[in-house]
Amino acid sequence: MSRQSEKPKIDIEMNTFDRFLETTALIALLFLIGLPAYYFHRLPAIIPTHFGMTGVPDNTGPRGVIWFLPVTGLILYAALTVLNKYPHVFNYPAKITTENVRYQYKTATQLIRLLKVLIAAVFVYLTLSSIRTALGKQEGIGNYFVIGFVLLMSMIMSFYLYQIIKDHS
């Protein structure tokens, strides 16, 4: 790739909505880590570790597995936070020009922030559901969780893809 075809490196300022998303993702991450820490010694030796499409647990494992989602969530949160500092490395469906670069980077970084919130919130819900199911206070994650998650993720991705593709030169 020639130097002339490289995307420009510019700083993108966070606005109020961006700060709200970052704060929300961080709070969700703290809950994600705090829930298993608080409930760990109350959990039975065997807990649900996987939920099928109907929301009913279909696999179990030792209670230490309750840390899988918090560790995974922490890694994803850190990776997305670092990645978001380099919007010039993202692939864009629209050509990046000097006229649209700021808009394209702003939109893409905001999408990453929103995905951080969604991932953290889903992991919190799954962790809490696993804890509550193990303690006999809930029966799985619910019938419509998977459908709702897929629909919400599709709507968010479609909205931001549309925003990036439409002409904002």
Q: Token digits for 66?
A: 């309750």
Hunting for tokens 């629909």 — which residue is that?
Answer: 151
Q: What is the pTM assigned to this prediction?
A: 0.86
Chain centroid, CA 65 distance in Å: 20
Provide the residue type at 70 as one letter: P
Number of other residues whose CB lies within 10 A of the CB of residue 143: 12
Provide the residue type at 53 as one letter: M
Q: Is 152 left (phi over 0), alpha (psi -120 to 50) or beta?
A: alpha
Residue 7 contacts residue 100 (beta carbons within 8 Å): no
End-to-end Cα spacing for the chain = 24
- The SS3 call for residue 65 is helix
Q: Token digits for 159?
A: 């909205």
Provide the pLDDT for residue 140.
85
What does pLDDT average to in each consecutive run of 10 residues of the chain (169 residues)? 65 94 97 97 94 88 96 97 94 87 92 95 94 93 85 91 74
Residue 143 contacts residue 55 (beta carbons within 8 Å): yes
Q: Name the DSSP class of 90.
A: S
Provide the pLDDT for residue 1.
41
Provide the pLDDT for residue 161.
85
